[in-house]
Amino acid sequence: MSIDSPECPRCGSRDRVVQVGEQVTIREKLKVKGRKSGATGRPYFEAKAEDSFTRDLAAESEIVRHVNREDDTYMENIRLYDGTCITSTSCLSDH
């Protein structure tokens, strides 16, 4: 039966059934920022944990990132859902 056919060749019905599907992906994200009491400007500590799609690797992943401006450190850990871990640590002053 083609879409232009006026009726079903088996039963003669003119009704059409159309199915539409959608996919929804839910991701979680947690962000924390640390500021000292009364301080203004950039926080001295930031942390972020989130589920994400990593385009460079074309894979779903879990990313954990810590930035500590007091200690001049940066750490990022990417865990792919196949179990592969990629960890990067450095000094913020090198960025």
Which domain covers residue 49, as residue numbers? 29-94
Q: What is the mean pLDDT of the chain?
A: 87
Domain membership flag for residue 85: yes
Is the predicted pLDDT of residue 6 greater than 80, yes or no? no
Can you give the pLDDT at residue 26?
A: 82
Non-local CB neighbours of 8 within 8 Å, separated by 6+ positions: 1, 14
Count the neighbouring beta carbons within 10 Å of the beta carbon of residue 63: 16
From 52, 51, 34, select the one nearest 43 (Cα to Cα): 34
Long-range contacts of 22-26 (CB under 8 A, 24+ apart): none
pTM: 0.64
Is the predicted pLDDT of residue 17 greater than 80, yes or no? no
- Number of domains composing the chain: 1
Domain membership flag for residue 58: yes
Domain membership flag for residue 23: no
Domain membership flag for residue 3: no
Domain membership flag for residue 20: no
pLDDT digits (tens, 9 = 90+) for 24-52: 878 889 999 999 988 888 999 999 999 98
Which of the four pLDDT bands, split at 50, 70 and 90, describes residue 1?
very low
